[in-house]
Amino acid sequence: MAQNERSLVIIKPDAVQRGLIGEILARYEQRGLRIAALKLELITREIAERHYGEHKDKPFFAGLVEFITSAPSVLMVLEGPEAIRIIRDTNGDTKPAQALPGTIRADFGLTIDRNLVHASDSIESAADEVANFFGDGSIIDYTRAIDSWINGD
């Protein structure tokens, strides 16, 4: 059986402004992922700079921070077997023109600057990112009646 993982997902300001929250959220749920935390928030500059800290010395850093703090985002923690890979496959390539048809970015995105969603890329980054956005302990552990049908437990 695959390892249960936790990942941060951000539905970015472009997707929120375009009214795509429900469509994007539905895709994750349809894959069988469980929502452990969910909130609509205007990300602060401090949290954004910490989130994008690995890019601090790159020329696009200021633009990343400016964009993610420009309007509300939906922040969530998703869980499930191999959640990190499944979420990233569901999102598609960061360059929407190169994303596979049927992925979020291929279906709704046009440019790398407005690629709609962010997801953790490893178990380690997921732990850091979840702590950055949900350090207040607002993650809920529960079992859905359908989990055994999804996970084979």
3 state SS of 2: coil
Burial class of residue 8 (count of CB atoms within 10 Å of its CB; 0-12, 13-18, 19+): buried
Q: Name the architecture of domain 4-140.
A: 2-Layer Sandwich (3.30)
Q: Which two tokens stand for residue 76?
A: 């969530």
What are the pLDDT digits (tens) for 10-67?
999 999 999 999 999 999 999 999 999 999 999 999 999 999 999 999 999 999 999 9
Hey, which residues are catalytic here? 118
- Annotated domain spans of the chain: 4-140
Q: Which two tokens stand for residue 115?
A: 């690629």
Q: How many CA atoms lie within 13 A of 28 on its CB side?
A: 32
pLDDT above 70: residue 1: no
What is the model's pTM? 0.94
pLDDT above 80: residue 153: no
User: With contact defined as beta carbons under 8 Å apart, do 74 and 40 qualify?
Assistant: yes
